[in-house]
Amino acid sequence: MTRGTRLAFRPASGGGATKNLSSAAVSGRGRARADADPARALLEVRGVTIQYKTRNHLITATYRVGFNVLQGDRFVMLGPSGCGKSTVLKAVGGYLAPTEGEIRLKGELITKPGPDRIMVFQEFDQLLPWKTVLENVAFPLKATGTLRGKAADERAMHYIEKVKLANFAHSYPHMLSGGMKQRVAIARGMAMEPDILLMDEPFAALDALTRTRMQDELLALWDETRFTVLFVTHSIPEAIKIGSRILLLSPHPGQVKAEINSVPRGQENSDEAAALAREIHQMLFADQIEEAPNVSNG
Amino acid sequence: MFQTVERPNIYCETLGPDQFGIIEKPLTLAEKIYNQAWLRKIAILLLLAVLWEVYGRWLDNPLLVPTFSDTMRALITDFGNGTIPSRAWGSIEVLMLGFALGALLAGLLSVFAISTRVGADFLETMTAMFNPLPAIALLPLALIWFGLGSGSLIFVLVHSVMWAVALNTLAGFRSVSATVRMVGRNYNLNGLRFVVRILIPAAFPSILSGLKIGWAFAWRTLIAAELVFGVSSGQGGLGWYIFESKNQLNIPEVFAGLLTIILIGLAVENVVFRFIESRTVQRWGMQS
């Protein structure tokens, strides 16, 4: 497969010892288990082909896509529209069954949706409009029976404070701006402390300024808790900024073009990042088009 | 040719909030009063009452159109001696029973319809057949099946409520966004828990409008049924009161009966349903 040799250059991302410090303060559950076997990938996607039927056609969305996500990765799937990146994410979420290949989380085959993989969607209507911010964040905890009553509210409040929305805990979603809604959705995802957070272009519907701020905040949250995230985007600058590891997909059907390391944290404006952006650009599009490194195209 | 003009950068000082005169100004009392929807509505009602009174006096024929004041007098008298309250309560009791039963059956049918394809086919066919059928047309049959009592009234009420509510509920369930459904499934909600915690609140605006329609249908059906066949469990309801008064040529009382129906309708719409709306769909921002 196309990945092959590049895997050798992979540095160990996220020191194992520091990983659990902040999450242990909230609860002992969750991340600790995966560290038992550091050699094993947290999420293994092997030879996944996904086909679906429309009224007249059988469409192959992805063809034999494979990659591994390790604990603490900020793993980005990048590609133009039609490359099946969201389809792969939905399959990891358990909403779609691959026609060929398999997806394993901690060695267990994924067959249906579950609270060990929380999805953050692009759409603003992912928050339940009949619940306040606090109730929304506490909802999965209570619905799955992870925590009850006050304990659930306390955990929810902890993550609402992390996304800086403590003042809006009792507001309803329709009173919030788009960026705030996405922050609630991220808090809701993180409050479950899932094995992996799945983000489907969560910032794509935001304006450019808010998007940049949200990217910074997401990275700040990652610095604190070192959660594992699988992030889908079609913006090269966003992929370079957010990702520690980038999977490039080609369109129609989606196939892996490359799996590469991003630049180190905080260097997304460096010459190195610009070179990487050009390299990715060349791989994704045959003819090169100039693009400023920090323009997040929507 | 085209010439570019050199322009300097321009920087402006903005005023602080304390340097403005008026940013917020309270409304005058008249504006505040005019902004109250219920006050405006009461003004309309008063105007209608005045028109009625004038027309009644001008016509001067209490057997055709009694004046508003005569009607109010009849209403107050019969309220005072307990006739109207007991008749109205008789109607409302039957109505609530039929309405609750109809809504419950509609809920079960819609849940069945949203969870299986057969259920959806069944509900669609049944609604297509029975929704256009006036409930009152079933009353003769119901009287044969359930006898001359509240049983047959409840049967026609259930029929009048169920299809409208089921149709709206199913439409509401189907319009729940895919994202919200996926969110629910993400948290391992399925079966009845999925319906109760995700589908019903998400579809609540449709469900509520279905209940409103069902309520109006039920009221109409009940009064019509009472007018035609009168007695339910010994003592008649409001429809029977109207029918009796007409037979005794107590036309102001006929009008008082009609007015009572209207008042109850207004109260349910503006108090009960408005309360539910303000606590749910309005607070959640699903309806402005």
Residue range B72-89, pLDDT digits in tens: 998 899 888 888 888 888
Percentage above 90 pLDDT, chain B: 25
Higher pLDDT, B236 or A178: A178
Q: What is the pLDDT of residue A298?
A: 41
Residues of A in contact with B204 (CB under 8 A): 130
Average pLDDT on A240-266 reads: 83
Q: What is the pLDDT of residue A32?
A: 41
Q: Can you tell me the distance from the alpha carbon of B169 to that of B164, in angstroms, rounded to the nearest whole number?
A: 9
Angle (CA) B132-B138-B144 rounded to 5° is 165
Q: Can you tell me the distance from the alpha carbon of B66 to that of A285, in angstroms, rounded to the nearest whole number?
A: 85
Q: Can you tell me the distance from the alpha carbon of A45 to that of A216, in angstroms, rounded to the nearest whole number?
A: 28
- pLDDT at position A72 over 50: yes
**pLDDT class of A232 with cuts at 50, 70, 90:** very high
Nearest CA in chain B to A142: B187
- pLDDT at position A295 over 80: no
Q: Which two tokens stand for residue B287?
A: 């309806």
Measuring CA to CA, which residue among B220, B213, B178 is closest to residue B91?
B220
**Cβ distance B34 to B40 under 8 Å?**
yes
Average pLDDT on B196-204 reads: 91
**Cβ distance B130 to B159 under 8 Å?**
yes
Q: Can you tell me the distance from the alpha carbon of B65 to that of B52, in angstroms, rounded to the nearest whole number?
A: 9
Question: What residues pair up with A120 in beta bridges, in sequence order?
Answer: A199
Cβ-based neighbour number of residue A195 at 10 Å: 21
- pLDDT at position A2 over 70: no
**pLDDT class of B230 with cuts at 50, 70, 90:** low
> Would you call A97 an interface residue with chain B, using a CB distance cutoff of 8 Å?
no
- pLDDT at position A21 over 70: no
Q: Do A144 and B285 touch (CB under 8 A)?
A: no
**Cβ distance B264 to B88 under 8 Å?**
yes
Q: Which two tokens stand for residue A168?
A: 């809006």
CA distance B180 to chain A (A): 5
Q: Which two tokens stand for residue A157?
A: 């409040």
Lowest mean pLDDT among A157-161, A183-187, A287-291, B259-263: A287-291
Lowest mean pLDDT among A34-43, A90-99, B97-106, B269-278: A34-43
* Domains, chain A, with CATH or none: 1-7+43-116+196-203+223-298 (3.40.50.300), 124-193 (no CATH)
**pLDDT class of B100 with cuts at 50, 70, 90:** very high
Nearest CA in chain A to B200: A130
> Would you call A250 an interface residue with chain B, using a CB distance cutoff of 8 Å?
no
- pLDDT at position A5 over 50: no
Residues of A in contact with B172 (CB under 8 A): none
Compute the mean pLDDT over every residue in chain A, rounded to the nearest whole number: 78
Look up tokens 């959660």; give the residue.
A227
How many contacts does A have with B, using Cβ atoms within 8 A? 63
> Would you call A118 an interface residue with chain B, using a CB distance cutoff of 8 Å?
yes
Q: Do A129 and B179 touch (CB under 8 A)?
A: no
Look up tokens 């609402």; give the residue.
A160
Average pLDDT on B195-206 reads: 91
**Cβ distance B86 to B202 under 8 Å?**
no
Q: What is the pLDDT of residue B153?
A: 87
Cβ-based neighbour number of residue A141 at 10 Å: 22
- pLDDT at position A129 over 50: yes
Q: Which two tokens stand for residue B216?
A: 């109006």
Query: For B187, which of A129, A140, A175 is closest by C-beta distance?
Result: A140
| Residue of B175, B176, B187, B193 to mutate, interface with A, max A Cβ within 10 Å | B187
CA distance B284 to chain A (A): 5
**Cβ distance A123 to A148 under 8 Å?**
no
Residues of A in contact with B188 (CB under 8 A): 113-115, 143-144
**Cβ distance B104 to B157 under 8 Å?**
no
Measuring CA to CA, which residue among A208, A211, A207 is closest to residue A199?
A211
Average pLDDT on A116-125 reads: 88
Q: Is B45 left (phi over 0), alpha (psi -120 to 50) or beta?
A: alpha
**pLDDT class of B282 with cuts at 50, 70, 90:** confident
Q: Can you tell me the distance from the alpha carbon of B128 to that of B133, in angstroms, rounded to the nearest whole number?
A: 9
* Chain B residues interacting with chain A (CB cutoff of 8 angstroms): 177, 179-180, 182-183, 185-189, 193, 197-198, 201-202, 204, 280, 283-286
Whether the bond between A253 and the residue before it is cis, its omega within 30 degrees of 0, is yes
Cβ-based neighbour number of residue A190 at 10 Å: 25
CA distance B219 to chain A (A): 30
- pLDDT at position B30 over 90: no
Q: Do A144 and B284 touch (CB under 8 A)?
A: no
Q: What is the pLDDT of residue B97?
A: 92
Query: For B179, which of A115, A123, A144 is closest by C-beta distance?
Result: A123
Q: Can you tell me the distance from the alpha carbon of B186 to that of A126, in angstroms, rounded to the nearest whole number?
A: 11
Per 3-state DSSP, chain A is made up of helix, strand and coil in percentages (nearest 5) of 40, 20, 40
Helix (H, G, I), strand (E, B) or coil at B59: helix
| Residue of A117, A128, A147, A180 to mutate, interface with B, max B Cβ within 10 Å | A128
Q: What is the pLDDT of residue A183?
A: 87
- pLDDT at position B263 over 70: yes
Nearest CA in chain B to A185: B183
Handedness of CA B156, B157, B158, B161 (dihedral sign): positive
Average pLDDT on A186-204 reads: 88
Residue range A44-65, pLDDT digits in tens: 888 888 888 877 788 888 888 8
* Complex ipTM value: 0.71
Average pLDDT on B233-244 reads: 77
The H or E element containing residue B154 is helix B150-174
Look up tokens 């304390």; give the residue.
B18
Q: Is A21 left (phi over 0), alpha (psi -120 to 50) or beta?
A: alpha
Q: What is the pLDDT of residue A18?
A: 38
Residue range A24-40, pLDDT digits in tens: 333 434 444 444 455 57
Residue range B123-175, pLDDT digits in tens: 999 988 988 888 888 888 888 898 877 888 899 999 999 999 999 999 999 98
Lowest mean pLDDT among A1-15, A36-50, B160-174, B201-215: A1-15
Average pLDDT on A130-143 reads: 90
> Would you call A95 an interface residue with chain B, using a CB distance cutoff of 8 Å?
yes
Compute the mean pLDDT over every residue in chain B, rounded to the nearest whole number: 86
- pLDDT at position A223 over 50: yes
CATH code of the domain occupying B66-279 = 1.10.3720.10
Query: For A118, which of B186, B280, B285 is closest by C-beta distance?
Result: B186
- pLDDT at position A271 over 60: yes
Question: What residues pair up with B162 in beta bridges, in sequence order?
Answer: none
Which stretches of A35-169 are DSSP H helices? 85-93, 133-143, 149-162
Residues of A in contact with B205 (CB under 8 A): none
Q: What is the pLDDT of residue A179?
A: 85
Q: Can you tell me the distance from the alpha carbon of A245 to that of A195, in angstroms, rounded to the nearest whole number?
A: 18
Q: What is the pLDDT of residue A39?
A: 59
Handedness of CA A214, A220, A225, A230 (dihedral sign): positive
Question: What residues pair up with A198 in beta bridges, in sequence order?
Answer: A119, A230
CA distance A128 to chain B (A): 7
Average pLDDT on B20-31 reads: 74
Amino acid letter for position B45: L
> Would you call A145 an interface residue with chain B, using a CB distance cutoff of 8 Å?
no
Cβ partners under 8 Å of residue A217, min gap 6: A163, A164, A183
Q: Do A119 and B183 touch (CB under 8 A)?
A: yes
Residue range B40-70, pLDDT digits in tens: 888 998 999 999 999 999 988 888 888 889 8
Measuring CA to CA, which residue among B197, B196, B202 is closest to residue B172?
B202
Average pLDDT on B266-273 reads: 88
Nearest CA in chain B to A115: B187
